[in-house]
Amino acid sequence: MRDTEHKHEQNAAELRLIPFFQPKIDMRDGGLAGAEALVRGVDKDGNIIMPAQFISEMEKDGSIGKLDFFMLENVLKQLSEWKAKGLPQIKMSVNMSRITLFAPKTLDTVLEIRSRYPDIPVKLVEFEITETAGDVGKSALAHIVDSFRERGFSFELDDFGAGYANISLFSNIKFKAIKLDRSLVDDLPDNAISSMFVENITKICRNFGMECIAEGVETRQQAESLLQAGCVYGQGFYYSKPISALEFEARYLNGPGISVKPDMV
């Protein structure tokens, strides 16, 4: 056991980390609504290593904070590069682990990183946090989220519906968007309960002034069923897998017939 753990640690430390980007799509017309940055590891032979193989190790050894800040910095750098090239500015979300979220110096570090990219409006950066972040107590979470919001950052509630689908979370906490977990989308369009759940969550989102984004959209039927339920934003392999910055730029920012949603920017 010790040997295995040691080996994993070595592997995580030996990886070069890079951000990949997955588009968030306006499913009504296929336009680009934003993107999510997802980390990838590259080993010494150039193989791409998925986060499932090193994230939990980083959470255990405490290096997850460094990863989240590294991703934030890279996202800002990328947006800045695209801006310098005259490409459209898009909203980009960064995953923030609950460990990072609740660490006392996180806001200061985030502000310090952000100050190095004054050309990028802060409203373009969003943090995705998971429903389990609410386990520590809604008021503690609300307090942290508010302290970031005062500085212009916004939050998305990730993986909603994967756990208890804790609706009271969004009556207490101001989220910019709710991300419907892949497990709900997987059941569409055949499962009537899932369809109804999606429809109702979408309605709540609309009433609370939040956006609703479906994760893990893999088929046209799922996209259609989500649209029918009123959920207009989607992310998933049906549209695109997470891709490198170069590929993202070519396909979504620089390609022929690109469409970036002005209302989401």
Residue ranges in contact with ligand C2E by CB under 6 A: 22, 38-39, 50-52, 55, 64, 67-68, 71, 95, 97, 128, 158-159, 182, 216-218, 235-237, 242
Taking CA atoms, 133 is separated from 46, 202, 235, in Å, by 34, 21, 22
Q: Which is nearer to ligand C2E, 9 or 218 (CB)?
A: 218
Binding range to Ca ion, per CB under 5 A, among 4-12, 71-79, 108-116, 158-166: 158-166
Q: Which is nearer to Ca ion, 87 or 99 (CB)?
A: 99
Smallest gap from Cβ 241 to ligand C2E, in A, equals: 6
User: Which has the closest alpha carbon to 231: 156, 152, 172, 177?
Assistant: 177
Chain residue at closest Cβ approach to Ca ion: 128
Residue 239 and residue 56: Cα distance in Å, rounded? Answer: 28
R_g over Cα of the chain = 18
Q: Which is nearer to ligand C2E, 181 or 249 (CB)?
A: 181
Q: Is position 100 an interface residue for Ca ion (rule: CB under 5 A)?
A: no
Chain residue at closest Cβ approach to ligand C2E: 236
Residue 204 and residue 262: Cα distance in Å, rounded? Answer: 24
Q: Which is nearer to Ca ion, 95 or 225 (CB)?
A: 95
Please give the structure tokens belonging to residue 159.
């993986």
Binding range to Ca ion, per CB under 5 A, among 46-54, 62-70, 98-106, 214-222: 214-222
